[in-house]
Amino acid sequence: MGRNYHVAIAGATGAVGVEMLRVLERRNLPVGKLTLLASARSVGKSLDFKGEKIAVQELTHNAFDGVDFALFSAGGGISKEFAPSAVKAGALVIDNSSAFRADPQVPLIIPEINPEAAKAHQGIIANPNCTTAITLMGLWPLHQAFGVKRLWASSYQAVSGSGAKAIEELKLQVEALARGETPPRAVYPWQIAFNVIPQVDVFLESGYTREEMKMEGEGRKIMGLPNLRASVTCVRVPVYRAHSVAISAEFERPVSLAAARAALEKAPGLRVVDEPSRHGYPVPLNVAGKDDCEVGRLRLDCALDNGLSFWICGDQLLKGAALNAVQIAELMAGV
């Protein structure tokens, strides 16, 4: 691969695709050429990149000639259909969907945690689920210090995790309710404005949702912990941007607050915000648009042996998606 890279974004007009564009503008990957790909209905649109307007082209099997990095964020079905064509054309695919995450042949990467695993790729590298990525940014440093065994977590997930239509739905519902009108509803099974919905993704026979099981499955793969156990409840909340997760984790070794704080404070991509007496703790409004995740509410868990409870917030369009994907490209480019 040359010094200046040809980067393609598949799903360029979606919420994550647009974020990938913004991240590429301000990061270190030297982009010589940028190709924006989307469905036929988006052809004719153009997006700004470093002051230049770039026309959106149709995503086809022949769209990847000369592409070095193909960043996919157009859903699992699209990734399964078109990623092999990108690989065949010589591109390294970095996929943001769930299509390849569980595939043992495909590395699942968070650069701050398991960068060395990326070397084993066979043309595709997977980006983790957004809630998993944000959780592991806090859990990994603690695992290195104390050895994690199992965890219980509840997520508080922003509507932008469901895409641009969900952002619009929350906005329209709030406006309709303020006018005393019946709120429109299309994206979610219940009104999301002034409500919380304890369902993200589809239910499995176990009673957990698919999103909830990703924390265990992806956590095992990324951290190299085949016996990790995680019980998770994922909840959609009326927040536009940035996910929050409450976690109680049980560790192999005794936990101290001082050692936990020290481990978190030196972790890359993470800020400790933990001054409860001054209302100092992470909130989604404060991390929206920021690269780093924030962790706080650190306390010894009163119901677990060797347990620690904490709260973490992160922008799921950034660390949970676009930023992580671009960081993987930077890792592979050696920048």
Contact call for residues 38 and 13 (beta carbons, < 8 A): yes
> Catalytic: which of 143, 234, 243, 313?
243
What is the rounded distance in angstroms from the CA atom of residue 186 to the CA atom of residue 162?
12
83-109 as b/e: b if 16+ CB within 10 A: bebbbebebbbbbbbbbbbeeeebbbb
Choice among 130, 234, 293, 313 that is catalytic: 130
Contact 197, 191 (CB under 8 A): no
Contacts of 55 (CB under 8 A, 6+ apart): 36, 44, 45, 46
Nearest CA-CA partner of 324 in 40, 70, 43, 134: 134
Using DSSP's 3-state secondary structure scheme, residue 306 falls into: coil
Asked if 243 is an active-site residue, the reply is yes
Largest CA distance in the chain: 59
Please state the φ and ψ torsions of residue 326, each to the nearest 5 degrees: -70, -35
What is d(CA 93, CA 90) in angstroms, rounded to the nearest whole number? 9
CA distances from 224 to 114, 135, 217, 248 (A): 9, 15, 11, 20
Residue 148: partners with Cβ closer than 8 Å, 6 or more residues away = 139, 142, 223, 225, 228, 249, 250, 251, 252
Q: Work out the angle at residue 23's Cα, subtended by the Cα atoms of residues 19 and 29, and round it to the nearest 5 degrees.
A: 140
90's torsion region: left (phi>0), alpha (psi -120 to 50) or beta? left
CB within 8 Å of 174: residues ≥ 6 apart: 193, 194, 238
Is there a catalytic annotation at residue 130? yes
Catalytic annotation, residues: 130, 243
